[in-house]
Amino acid sequence: MDRISIIKPDDWHSHLRDKDALETTVPAAMRCFKRCIIMPNLSPPVTSAESIKKYRDSILKHRPSDSDWTPLMVMYLTDNTSIECIRTAHNQGLIFGCKYYPAGATTNSASGVTDLNGLDAVFEIMQELGIPLQIHGEVTDSSVDIFDREKIFIDRHLTQIKHRFPELRIILEHITTEHSVEFVRDNDKYIAATITPQHLLFNRNDMLAGGIRPHLFCLPILKRDLHQNALIKAATSGEKKFFLGTDSAPHPRANKESACGCAGCFSHHAAIELYAQAFERAGALDQLEKFASINGAEFYGLEKNSELISLVRDPWQVPKQMDYGDSYLVPLAAGHTLNWRLET
């Protein structure tokens, strides 16, 4: 098989940043996706109808007039998010979801939530209005080992949220462990998960054995191969609860190659090719369309896209770096050979 066509995919989790970065990130997001959820962790974060509208407009300035690529905007929850704030954004058709970052968990999460119990009224109104909750599922407790933070978050917090708001649609973003796969799989239809290309293609040995590779550092951090294998199984299973979310998160090269490097992998340069690589390795290319183009739309209650994209077998080497305004990006799998290329 040297050519495959699938329904045009959507990215249910991406970071485009703002200002000059949009010159690079918007065209990259449009490359193979029709719709992208745009995460709101800017500095300052996107916390109101007004700031969402402003951010959406700045993104759309970079979309060519003949394109129907669609950014789906998300509101950043803080300890001070009010139900009025959510209602206002919802009534104006501005929000596709609300993102929960535990304060301090990751890039620009300082304004995130410190006390989950304080969000009861917010979760209540989201459940009532049918607004999905996108969760960065890690505890920030410094006594918890970084490799265990996702599991402890589920055990301590997610089970509670699920119990108290049984019909709130929840997406556990960028899952990284076998435990998360099982939690999502064994739960009801209101909970699903996204999976990134880096967590399918790499494990912590790739990042740390024989030298530290900062461009593979992301959060939640890559885990051991047992977990990578559980994620591959889930993504390639065709199960409706697992779908594509790249978590493409650009940082200038110098900010990653630093004494305290930033978390995040940029993957929009070759998003669908990276997933195709992982699916082919697992002998499951026939399941790529469900994961990339069907399951997410179904969970979010949207129509599937009507266009198709094609991938051709034509091995190519991912560039070692790319321009990013007046700095550079090292893209995910830089220097590696990918077997599939998006046909344009």
Distance separating alpha carbons of residues 265 and 196, to the nearest angstrom: 10
Assess 218 for contact with ligand DOR (CB under 6 A): yes
Q: In sequence order, what are the beta bridge partners of 201?
A: none
- ∠ Cα 180 28 233 (to 5°): 25
The item of ligand DOR, Zn ion, none sharing an interface with residue 219, based on CB under 5 to 8 Å by kind, is ligand DOR
Cβ burial, residue 115 (10 Å; 0-12/13-18/19+): exposed
Total residues at interface with ligand DOR (CB under 6 A): 11
Within 26-55, which residues bind Zn ion (CB under 5 A)? 39
Secondary structure E strands in 136-235: 170-172, 191-195
Site for Zn ion in 229-268 (CB under 5 A): 247
Query: From Zn ion, ligand DOR, none, which one binds at residue 269 (CB under 5 to 8 Å depending on kind)?
Result: none
Using the Cα atoms of residue 114, residue 117, residue 122 and residue 123 in order, give the sign of their dihedral. positive
Closest to ligand DOR by CB, 15 vs 35, is 15
Interatomic CA distance for residues 113 and 159, integer angstroms: 17
| Cβ distance to Zn ion smaller for residue 133 or 311 | 133
Binder of residue 203, out of ligand DOR, Zn ion, none (CB less than 5 to 8 A by kind): none
Q: Does 119 interact with ligand DOR (rule: CB under 6 A)?
A: no
By annotation, the residues acting in catalysis are 247
Query: From the list Zn ion, ligand DOR, none, which binds 218 (C-beta under 5 to 8 Å, kind-based)?
Result: ligand DOR
Q: Which of 161, 181, 191, 219 binds ligand DOR (CB under 6 A)?
A: 219
Residue 51 or 293: the one with the smaller Cβ distance to ligand DOR is 51
Q: Distances in Å between the alpha carbon of 199 and those of 223, 224, 322?
A: 8, 10, 22
Rounded to the nearest whole angstrom, what is the least distance from the CB of residue 161 to Zn ion in the complex? 19
Q: Does 13 bind ligand DOR (CB under 6 A)?
A: no
Q: Helices (H), strands (E): how many in the chain? A: 14, 13
CB of 300 to ligand DOR, least distance (A): 20
- In the complex with ligand DOR, the residue whose CB is nearer, 9 or 250, is 250
| Cα 171 to Cα 183: distance, rounded to the nearest angstrom | 12
264 binds, among Zn ion, ligand DOR, none (CB under 5 to 8 A by kind): ligand DOR
256-285 footprint of ligand DOR as x/- string (CB under 6 A): -------xx---------------------
**Parallel, antiparallel or unpaired: strands 133-135 and 170-172:** parallel
Pair 135, 172: CB distance under 8 Å: yes
- Looking at beta carbons only, is 16 or 285 nearer to ligand DOR? 16
Give every CB contact of residue 72 below 8 A, 6+ residues apart in sequence.
35, 36, 37, 38, 96, 97
Which residues in this chain contact ligand DOR in the complex, by CB under 6 A?
15, 41, 106-107, 136, 218-219, 247, 249, 263-264
